[in-house]
Chains A and B, each alone.
Chain A
Amino acid sequence: MAQVESANLNPETVLAEMKKNGVTHVVWLPDSETNWLYMLMKNDPELDLIPVSREGQAFSVAAGLSVGGKNPIILIQNTGMMESGDSLRGWCLGMNIPVVMMVGYRGYTRHGVNSDTAATYTERFLNAFGIQYYLVENDSDAERISVAFEEAQATKRPVAILVGDEYHGFH
């Protein structure tokens, strides 16, 4: 049982990392890789969820929150991140917004051979924008989330967490 749990990224672990790093708002659009957080976040009175209908919107929402002194996190899928290129450029990179974006890594396979072009272009996209990223696959990787928050604050730039796991249920 312990082996099974350590192979997963549990939502409680991610939520704990978000709270440890003082997240105030979650700007998000649902996807299968980060869906597991929704119920937990919705029931947390300290988090304000802001749903968007297209991922590019998330970057300008986050910029407004950040200029207003809050600490948002963006929660989207890699497909939507790629659709958001100009918003990411203008509203976060261009305005020095220190924001962490947690990105569902659709199509990710640990062995690197995949059949989903969403995965093929994800890291290439981040590299093109010069955005640092960290891969998180299970609970033992979770401390990288804090590293991302620290780096975003230090560099006043967006930093990405790539979530290489899907929903397994709550514990």
Chain B
Amino acid sequence: MFQTADMLNIFQKYRGDAVVIPGRGGRHWIDISTNEKRDIPLGDPAMGGHASFGMGLALAQPDQKVVLFDSEGDVLMNLGALVTIAEKAPENFYHFMLDNECYATTGGQPVPNAQNVAYDVIAKGAGYTKTYAFDNLEDFSNNIEEILSQPGPVFVAMKVFPHIENEPIGARRRWQTRSRDQVIEDVQQQMGVSSS
């Protein structure tokens, strides 16, 4: 396992001008990103939907590289999304998945069969042509340039340490600095999409 923030610091060096959906890595990415207006920190609109959102955006904007940091809890909630992504096969979609083996935001309860799921194998079986799995930062660091330089969709499973939250939701610190509307307006401007 490795720290999400350490991984994101390495990713940042290779990000280029990719549009980044930080997903469950959002609270770390906000302090690391150097191109905030091309970030789409949505928080958690509804669990299980980030992969489909990322795919939709990638299909709509084929000239933009779209990078998503999904989570294993989200992927499990909508495994069927993987086969749709594999069928539509957006070449500009890079699907990273943070696997902390638990539901960290609800107190750290384990996801089903937490330690024994090979998500890269599931993605491969769903039809992704290229998949990776990393449980140490050195391997991730050695491969990230190659991952981002090949056509997608690529799936990358990563074992990360959980950051467990036990506070009531209403008492938690809000890490987002922009409203959801502002986030969308900013990224649409970056992509040249008119927000009619």
A interface list, Cβ under 8 A from B = 25, 48, 50-54, 56-70, 72, 86-87, 89-91, 94-96, 153
A54 engages B80 (CB within 8 Å) = yes
Q: Among B46, B59, B88, B196, which residue has its beta carbon within 8 angstroms of that of A60?
A: B46
- A86 and B78 alpha carbons, distance in the complex (Å): 13
Which of B58, B59, B81 has the most A CB atoms < 10 Å from its CB? B59
Assess whether B54 is interfacial by the CB under 8 Å rule: yes
Distance of A155 from chain B, by nearest CB (Å) = 13
A52-B80, A69-B188, A94-B45 as given contacts; A57 in contact with B52, CB under 8 Å: yes
Q: Among B45, B59, B196, which residue has its beta carbon within 8 angstroms of that of A68?
A: B59
Q: Which residues of B contact A66 (CB under 8 A)?
A: 56, 60
A64-B54, A69-B60, A153-B196 as given contacts; A90 in contact with B84, CB under 8 Å: no
Interface size band for B:
35 or more
Assess whether B61 is interfacial by the CB under 8 Å rule: yes
- A25 and B88 alpha carbons, distance in the complex (Å): 12
Chain A residue with the shortest CB-CB distance to B193: A69
A54-B78, A69-B61 as given contacts; A60 in contact with B191, CB under 8 Å: no
B46 engages A64 (CB within 8 Å) = no
- A25 and B188 alpha carbons, distance in the complex (Å): 19
Chain A residue with the shortest CB-CB distance to B80: A53
The majority secondary structure among interface residues of chain B is helix
Q: Which residues of A contact B54 (CB under 8 A)?
A: 64
Chain A residue with the shortest CB-CB distance to B59: A65
Give me 20 A-to-B residue pairs in the complex whose CB atoms sit less than 8 angstroms apart, sorted by A's number: A25-B60, A50-B59, A57-B52, A60-B48, A60-B49, A61-B55, A63-B49, A64-B53, A64-B59, A66-B60, A67-B53, A67-B184, A67-B187, A68-B58, A69-B188, A87-B49, A90-B44, A91-B46, A94-B46, A95-B184
- A61 and B49 alpha carbons, distance in the complex (Å): 8
Assess whether B121 is interfacial by the CB under 8 Å rule: no
B interface list, Cβ under 8 A from A = 40, 42, 44-61, 78, 80-81, 83-84, 87-88, 180-181, 184, 187-188, 191, 193-194, 196
Q: Which residues of A contact B88 (CB under 8 A)?
A: 50
Q: Among A53, A61, A96, which residue has its beta carbon within 8 angstroms of that of B56?
A: A61
Chain B residue with the shortest CB-CB distance to A68: B60
Chain A residue with the shortest CB-CB distance to B68: A64
Q: Which 5 A-B pairs have the closest CB atoms?
A: A64-B56, A68-B60, A90-B46, A60-B49, A53-B80
B56 engages A68 (CB within 8 Å) = yes
Q: Among B81, B180, B191, B193, which residue has its beta carbon within 8 angstroms of that of A57?
A: B81
Distance of B45 from chain A, by nearest CB (Å) = 4
Distance of A115 from chain B, by nearest CB (Å) = 30
Q: Which residues of B contact A58 (CB under 8 A)?
A: 52
A60 engages B52 (CB within 8 Å) = yes
- A25 and B44 alpha carbons, distance in the complex (Å): 25
- A51 and B59 alpha carbons, distance in the complex (Å): 13
Q: Which residues of B contact A87 (CB under 8 A)?
A: 46, 48-49
A57 engages B57 (CB within 8 Å) = no
Chain B residue with the shortest CB-CB distance to A53: B80
